[in-house]
Structure 1
């Protein structure tokens, strides 16, 4: 049986002390469990790599198309690493990111090898997954994040 994926709104509240920008993004929910919580992305003050176009239309238009492609159509044979949760201020992996290996399978797509990465230290593996999603349902859910 395939794992189930959903996108759920994720809201980061702004603050003047320390300076924090409000962000509206998406959490990935797998089989009813939040990956934001399971990866402890909140500990690193991260947001989802997909912006919520209902609140952040300009950011979603700039970023979501590329991120959605990395999660779907641009997945190479053997897969590649994709940032799922990123720095809410700049989205740069150098600030730290929760990533997963995304690879195509016969049935759809698999997320595995979850890790915390920052681009210069060795990745810290997370005890999570792998998850395998049926292609049509997965594609439909990821496409919801795209801004028109």
Structure 2
């Protein structure tokens, strides 16, 4: 009889930070959750405060190690072939408790089975097993494709520098889902030159002062690293992602989407060949709320096109992202 397969995917998730009743702080964590048969696996576990090992704020070497582990490229960290699926959001100690499972390859498929709540080196399946969860059998190609996307190729890494750590963590998580490696740092004072040379871009938050930016540029220059420097337009994740995608795109000239200007209630878009173009406007209001509006989605012929924007998309403090296959541009509304 044919095996029943479950689908496997990844999606950004969040464990909200806050202040507890006793005055203690709860750490904010952004991470990638496992999506099994279209549902977050974490939601299937009863009232569990935990995060996956694929958190946006872990150092790049540790993040890569977690990916390799899930791909079965390294030995299981726990006895019995068990891997941590979800752990404590505040620390990495097993004594706080973790959801673990056996991950193995079986007849060319990947199987997750014997889920349990574990607080020591060995798991007691009879006492602490999640008897209603799994086993899950995944097609190896689908499973590996999803995880391989998290391993950014050379020069597809970006260093995030800014004061708003929560925004940077969400940005790092979003970038990793599209195959761009991202790390957060206050500066480059203790980053080895050989690591600096692996980055393709650096993005600065608005709060980073000019002398701090100059020190970062000097560190990359001394390391012989040729990187793109990006000034973040606003704390809007899709907008920042688009800026970084554009900065990392160092392909040949002659792209189809070659120009974007937003002024006087319209967007001017230049394309070199017929292509489908999508325009999305983002605006931050006086209460720092982000408003998103899809303003255009159609095929454009070669040339320069003037696309009207309605009053909401054309307000001051608004930004526009233009996308076509393999290319993205951003623009700030000018008066």
- In 1, the alpha carbon distance for the partners of 2:88 and 2:45 equals 14
User: Which structure ranks higher in relative contact order (CA pairs < 8 Å, sequence separation ≥ 6)?
Assistant: 1
- In 1, the alpha carbon distance for the partners of 2:14 and 2:117 equals 21
CA contact (8 A) 2:116 2:124 kept: no
- The structure-2 alpha-carbon separation of the partners of 1:62 and 1:30, relative to structure 1 and needing over 3 Å to count, comes to same
Segments of 5+ residues of structure 1 without an aligned counterpart are none
CA contact (8 A) 2:82 2:103 kept: yes
Alignment correspondent of 2:276: none
Q: How big is the shift at 1:20?
A: 0.9
Aligned pair 1:140/2:141, yes or no?
no
Q: How big is the shift at 1:74?
A: 2.5
Equivalent residues in 2 for 1:53-72, closer than 5 Å:
56=57, 59-72=58-71
Q: TM-score, normalised by structure 2?
A: 0.39
Structure number with greater Rg is 2
Equivalent residues in 2 for 1:52-131, closer than 5 Å:
52=56, 56=57, 59-72=58-71, 73-74=73-74, 80-119=81-120, 122=124, 124-126=128-130, 127-131=132-136
Q: TM-score, normalised by structure 1?
A: 0.82
2:41 pairs with one of 29, 35, 39? 35
Q: How big is the shift at 1:125?
A: 0.3
Q: How big is the shift at 1:62?
A: 3.6
SS of residue in 2 equivalent to 1:113: strand
Aligned pair 1:3/2:3, yes or no?
no
Number of residues of Structure 1 aligned to a counterpart in Structure 2: 139
- In 2, the alpha carbon distance for the partners of 1:133 and 1:113 equals 15
Q: How big is the shift at 1:60?
A: 4.9
Segments of 5+ residues of structure 2 without an aligned counterpart are 153-180, 182-335
* 1:88-142 deviations in Å (ceiling 9; x for gaps): 1112221110111000111221000011111167451002111111112101112
- In 2, the alpha carbon distance for the partners of 1:74 and 1:106 equals 19
Q: How big is the shift at 1:39?
A: 1.9
- The structure-2 alpha-carbon separation of the partners of 1:44 and 1:3, relative to structure 1 and needing over 3 Å to count, comes to closer
SS of residue in 2 equivalent to 1:142: helix
Alignment correspondent of 1:21: 27
Q: How big is the shift at 1:75?
A: 5.7
The CA RMSD over aligned residues, in Å, is 2.1
Aligned pair 1:45/2:40, yes or no?
no
